[in-house]
Amino acid sequence: MYPRSISLILVSATLSFIALSLDFMSYPVLADLVTSELAFTYTQSGLMMSIFAVFYALMQIPSGILSDKFGGGRVIVLSVILMGLSSVAFSLSSSFESALSSRLMMGAGAGFILPASVKLLSSCFSARHLDNAMGIFGTGWGTGFIVSFAAIPWIIRASGWRIGALFTGIFTLAVAILCWPALWRSRTENPVEKMKPAQTSFKKLFSRKLVYLISINFTGLAVVVGVTTWAPLYLMQTLNISLAEAGFMIVALGMMMVMSSFFGGVASHRLGGEMVVIASMIMCVVLPVVLMFVSSAWLGLLIMAGVGWGSGFYIAPVFARVPLSVSQEYSGTVFGVFNLVSFIGSSITPVFVGYVLDTFARYDIGFLAISAIAISGLVGSLFLRQRKPA
């Protein structure tokens, strides 16, 4: 379908996204054992997710600027290496401070990957093919969930949480080695002719359209990260199931994210990207509320699958529209701005729900708050739908 060199770049970028997702989402799998051994409170445990998200967000704009200046490929490779080394360091943690520092560095490394990848892919693919390319790239997010919740529970059951954490580091470093040949010498000087962008001035980056796109990504991240951080413990306690069984439900979530990201790119051409986004946001608002009433493992599996679909379906049309909203010269930087602001959703929800548990010992209030946060994305998707083409 695509030239071999471009296909290798797409595969390599997707592998880096898988590594990012795995390193980010490995903690919810490890959380119960880490919390017990290192004597964390719920708030401290939630902070392990939030500190990753905060430093991930802080690196977005620097990543975009570096990618615009030097190209995305080398930025991706170096970032994946840093992320892998930090994962190994986390497996050696002996205190809250050392664990937090490792997660901080892991988040900082991960923060360079997405702007660099979007810069690279938006340079390689024409506007007509970018939705499909972003749909394939977006499958990396859900695939990381699958690896986290399918493989790590079995590893920690046999060898403990430290070996599970070490696995994420080894996996991530292996991805860096595999991606090196395709990404290190890749270029981002517009090798493919593109449609004229909607914005051409750097001063016009902060358009209303970008604000709507930010609210949508904010919602998708807030829902999937908030739910997957705390749903395993909630399901284990409510349904009296094992970590492996709860992990299987999150695997279903990841599988649906993979499918919905891919089909979101396909559906954008047939239904329009705005309709795809609205459907995704409706699911993100409704499903955290439904989770409060889970009564069986089968219902839990269905809800987790729905959360996966809702939090992945919007990725292709939204990610494709961000770099096309500005001139190619600034596409990396504007995606960094987009991801910096929208990723606040995932940095708030894990620690907030942890605080709710410490204060009220009630999951339903936490899940209701996640649903309330998601309303912002639904509103943004409706305004995006109302915009008329220039």
Distance in angstroms (rounded) separating the CA atoms of residues 276 and 284: 13
**pLDDT on residue 329:** 63
Residue 200 pLDDT exceeds 60:
no
| pLDDT tens digits, 93-144 | 999 999 999 999 999 999 889 888 888 888 887 767 788 888 888 888 888 8
Task: Please give the single-letter amino acid code of residue 153.
Answer: P
Highest mean pLDDT among 1-10, 200-209, 266-275, 380-389: 266-275
**pLDDT on residue 189:** 46
Give the Å distances, CA to CA, from 128 to 66, 217, 229, 320, 329: 26, 22, 36, 10, 19
Report all structural domains of the chain as residue ranges with CATH numbers, in order of start.
4-186+196-386 (1.20.1250.20)
| pLDDT tens digits, 6-44 | 888 899 999 999 999 999 888 888 888 888 899 888 788
Closest CA to 221 of 20, 22, 370, 363: 370
Residue 167 pLDDT exceeds 90:
yes
Question: Can you tell me which residue has the tokens 């954490």?
Answer: 165
272: left (phi over 0), alpha (psi -120 to 50) or beta: left
**pLDDT on residue 324:** 66
**pLDDT on residue 191:** 38
Q: Are 381 and 274 in contact (CB under 8 A)?
A: yes
**Two tokens at 196?**
């004229």
Mean pLDDT taken over the chain: 84
Mean pLDDT of 357-374: 86
Residue 205 pLDDT exceeds 80:
no
Closest CA to 346 of 314, 311, 315: 311
Distance in angstroms (rounded) separating the CA atoms of residues 202 and 210: 13
**pLDDT on residue 196:** 44
Work out the angle at residue 348's Cα, subtended by the Cα atoms of residues 239 and 356, and round it to the nearest 5 degrees. 50
Mean pLDDT of 279-305: 93
